[in-house]
Amino acid sequence: MNLPNFLTILRIFFVPLLVAVMVADKRSLSWGAFTVSNATLALAIFWTAAATDLLDGYLARRWRQVTTVGTLLDPIADKLLVSAALVSLVEMHRVPAWIAILIVGREFAISGLRSIAAAEGYTIKASELGKTKMIAQVLAISVVILGIRWEPLRLPGMLLMWGVVAFSFVSAIDYFRKFWRTLDVQVKRRRRRELLRLERERRVMRVAERRRLRQAQRTAAN
């Protein structure tokens, strides 16, 4: 396992830790003379996990360690992290449930799209819109988490979440457009190959049939 893939898997392990901290009944943690609120700790965990998203992609490209597993696993890790944060914020009554449903539903739809594409032998890589969408999600969720302690940030956080909803659907349309166009080309190519194969088989059968007829005629003449 290379380092970029390890960072991706590490991001997945941050997910249950983030949820546990955000929904804990105790709103602060104490270590000796230091007291840290759940919101601050959750934000630190969330930022650390988000940083691994930037780092694993950079290292994979720089060290030329881009793998199929990493390409497929990286967006899944992103979706798990964002979904866990949103569900936790809904539980804390900081984000309306319908916003979380729309965003998480979009993420699952894109995951299904990637699965279908993978079954067809085509890997959908993250587009520039998709990468920007992830940055927007991290920013919006961060502001909402900060709003737990600083109430004036609650309204800006909700405005950013609205922007994330719009951005998510724009990027989803871009993914579906690229997928259907690529899939349509692949289906046409497959059908063309099948038609050529069937045509070759028919030609072979016609040649074999002609040979049998000639052989039968020769046998009858003798």
Domain boundaries, the chain: 3-194
**DSSP single-letter state for residue 34:** E
- Cα-only R_g, the chain: 27
Q: How far apart are CA 218 and CA 212, in angstroms?
A: 10
Strands (E), the chain: 28-31, 34-37
CA diameter of the chain: 112
Segment of 74-78, 97-101, 202-206 carrying the highest mean pLDDT: 97-101
Quote the pTM value.
Answer: 0.74
Q: How far apart are CA 160 and CA 155, in angstroms?
A: 9
Per the CB < 8 A criterion, the answer to whether 21 and 45 are in contact is yes
User: How large is the average pLDDT for residues 212-220?
Assistant: 77
Q: Grade residue 189 by pLDDT with cuts at 50, 70 and 90.
A: confident
**DSSP single-letter state for residue 26:** S
pLDDT at 43 exceeding the cut of 70: yes
Residue 25 has what pLDDT?
67
Domain 3-194 falls in which CATH fold? Four Helix Bundle (Hemerythrin (Met), subunit A) (1.20.120)
Residue 143 has what pLDDT?
94
User: How large is the average pLDDT for residues 108-126?
Assistant: 73
Q: For strands 28-31 and 34-37, give the pairing.
A: antiparallel
Lowest mean pLDDT among 38-52, 144-158, 186-200: 186-200
Q: How far apart are CA 2 and CA 56, in angstroms?
A: 10
With tokens 């989803």, the residue in question is: 172
Q: What is the mean pLDDT of the chain?
A: 82
